[in-house]
Amino acid sequence: MEPKKIGMVALTTMFVIAAGSSMAQTPLESAAKLTENERFEDASRAIRAILAAEPNNGEAWFLLGENYYANEQLDSAQAAFDRGAKVNPLMPLNAVGLGKVMQARGKSADAKLAFEACIAKAIDKSSKTPKPMQANVYREAAEGLVYGAAKDPTTALAYIEKAILLNPNDAELYIVKGDALFEQNSRDASEPMVNYKKASELKAASAKPIARKAFVYYRAKNFDASITEYDNAITMDPAYAPAYRGRAEAHFYKRNIEQATADYQKYLDLNKGNLSARVRYAKFLYLTDKYTESLAEITALRNAGVNDNTLARIEGYSLAQLGESKRALAVMVEYFRVQPDAEEISADFETMGKIYAGLAKGVADSTVTREGLPTGDLDSLAAGMYVAAARIDPSKMDLYSEAATILRKAKMYDMEMRVHQEKIATGNVKSNDYYYLGTAANKAKQYATADSAWAVYVTKQPAIYQGYLGRARANAGLDPEKKTWQAQPYFEEVVRKMKPEEIVKSPTDAEEAYFYLGFYHFNSTKDMAMAKCWFEKAKALNTGSFNTTNINTMLSTKGSRM
């Protein structure tokens, strides 16, 4: 679980500029601070109170949109930005906000056009936009590209450099620059750290730059360093709620569940009365394997009127982990009905795979009735979901294997073969991928495909007899009438490669090769002495197989010719 990266890091700076030289916090600045501390409901109430008195306040509409954007309520964010752009078109940030929503929804091309149009308008001399506001436009566009679903850190950095030229003392610019640099190259945190240090120098009383350093360590899986920096952020500002959540999640990955839970409780205390904080807590309970507790919190949130589809996601996940596959299926079907396609994640489909696999097992052992279940084959549905999850997240290649295993057990060899082919096509290939493809293709009687797979396997594992056996079986399948005897050289390789201990362990494999070679000499070369030699070797294994029966018959009826 990755700590949420809040997109509106520069809000306070923007409103300080707007407030002029006054040192007292304005209502907008106070509301921005609430958003920064993830007190989203409190912030929303404060901003709406301002808008009730000033309905044409473009800055307030922008702040409301950013508040929703940070809380992943993209529909509400879009509505606020749109309203702000209409009531005060001279205030340019709402138009940038609409671009950020597009980017968050994966509409990168539309977002880029929106950002460029906003920038062009802001820097046009005829607009007379002050330089600090021009810098804000660049910065907000950069945030959309750094924190959105489809990231473009290179363009974001170009925007930020221009913003720094316009307003070099804006600490928030260096935070965004650090984040963009880390997104561009997560293997090198040195440059991001330089920029977070610069931000701290410009804004010495802020815990935010320190928390960003902690987050970089978290992303690099250096959880000890992350916790230390979160400690520093909390020392700087004990009321900075995101630091407690970030530290909780770092502790979680170290499996320090007690400390993680204590930090999340503190996060909840600082955000008392804010339901969005409890939504995050419900997700945290799921991640700490407290599925029953997570479900109870979700129920309480629903009773409090929370309508958040990510709660349905976590509810479905928790039910699946508890083995309540039928209930989980109903929840996830409704979740997918509501969730925009662009906001579906790999884990959604992985969970559906787990649900269908659980239902298939339940139906097979009669612990689950078919009533109310999909009419399709549950095993193939499970496999299809695992493959869909792997397509979304290339780091989850093991899900292809999970899908293939389900199909293999269900004897759906054609489908299993296609799963292996898709996995190989990704380029993330291991030798055993060809082994499993060859095995599945042989069982599916797709012998040409099997032979090609085994041909690759034996080049990668030339000392292992199973590759030659797989190729021998494929070529035997390609020559069912025994006209070419094209499997013969591969069965000879099987005999050459099998070690004595392997013959003891897998006698039927050796027998298969011996029998084919005996049969080859019996029918093709007519070398009865050689045929008898191979048949006797096969008979000595005494496996009791169909081949053994054939050998006994052939030795008895054709013995005089041998």
4-50 per-position pLDDT tens digit: 443 334 454 444 334 333 456 799 999 999 999 999 999 999 999 99
Flag the least confident range among 24-33, 94-103, 320-329, 510-519: 24-33
Does 70 fall in a domain? yes
136-169 per-position pLDDT tens digit: 999 999 999 998 667 899 999 999 999 999 999 9
Question: pLDDT: is 21 or 314 the higher one?
Answer: 314
251-310 per-position pLDDT tens digit: 999 999 999 999 999 999 998 878 888 988 999 899 888 999 999 999 999 998 888 898
Q: What are the DSSP calls for 200-251, one per residue?
A: HHHSTT-SHHHHHHHHHHHHTT-HHHHHHHHHHHHHH-TT-HHHHHHHHHHH
Round to whole Å and give the CA distance between 195 and 217: 15
User: Is residue 471 predicted with pLDDT exceeding 60?
Assistant: yes
What pLDDT shows up at residue 24? 64
The residue to which tokens 């109170």 are assigned: 49
| Cβ atoms within 10 Å, residue 9 | 26
What pLDDT shows up at residue 490? 98
384-418 per-position pLDDT tens digit: 999 999 999 988 999 999 999 999 999 999 999 99
The answer to whether the CB of 385 falls within 8 A of the CB of 352 is yes
Does 63 fall in a domain? yes
Round to whole Å and give the CA distance between 98 and 115: 9
What pLDDT shows up at residue 557? 59
pLDDT band with cut points at 50, 70 and 90 for residue 560:
very low
Compute the 3-state secondary structure of the chain and give helix, strand, coil in percent, each to the nearest 5. Answer: 75, 0, 25
pLDDT band with cut points at 50, 70 and 90 for residue 59:
very high
Does 62 fall in a domain? yes
Does 79 fall in a domain? yes
pLDDT band with cut points at 50, 70 and 90 for residue 518:
very high
The answer to whether the CB of 280 falls within 8 A of the CB of 288 is no
| pTM, two decimal places | 0.74
Round to whole Å and give the CA distance between 319 and 334: 14
Residue 525 per-residue DSSP state: I
Q: What are the DSSP calls for 486-524, one per residue?
A: TTHHHHHHHHHH--HHHHHH-HHHHHHHHHHHHHHIIII
| Cβ atoms within 10 Å, residue 233 | 26
Question: CATH no. for residue 48?
Answer: 1.25.40.10
User: Is residue 194 predicted with pLDDT exceeding 90?
Assistant: yes
Does 320 fall in a domain? no
User: Is residue 558 predicted with pLDDT exceeding 70?
Assistant: no
The residue to which tokens 């606020």 are assigned: 80
User: Is residue 191 predicted with pLDDT exceeding 70?
Assistant: yes
What pLDDT shows up at residue 372? 86
The answer to whether the CB of 301 falls within 8 A of the CB of 279 is yes
At 377, list the tokens.
């084959």
Share of residues in the chain with pLDDT > 90 (%) = 78
- Please tell me the total count of domains within the chain: 1
SS3 3: coil
Calculate the average pLDDT of the chain: 91
Round to whole Å and give the CA distance between 112 and 118: 10
Round to whole Å and give the CA distance between 15 and 503: 79
Does 195 fall in a domain? no
| Cβ atoms within 10 Å, residue 149 | 13
Does 86 fall in a domain? yes
pLDDT band with cut points at 50, 70 and 90 for residue 178:
very high
Does 150 fall in a domain? yes
The answer to whether the CB of 315 falls within 8 A of the CB of 358 is no
The answer to whether the CB of 286 falls within 8 A of the CB of 318 is yes
SS3 34: helix
432-468 per-position pLDDT tens digit: 999 999 999 999 999 999 999 999 999 999 999 999 9
Determine the length of the chain: 562
522-547 per-position pLDDT tens digit: 999 999 999 999 999 999 998 877 77
User: Is residue 3 predicted with pLDDT exceeding 50?
Assistant: no
What pLDDT shows up at residue 19? 37
Round to whole Å and give the CA distance between 346 and 445: 33
**Mean pLDDT across the stretch 89-93?**
92
Domain of 158 in residue numbering reads as 1-188
At 103, list the tokens.
């980017």
Round to whole Å and give the CA distance between 397 and 90: 50
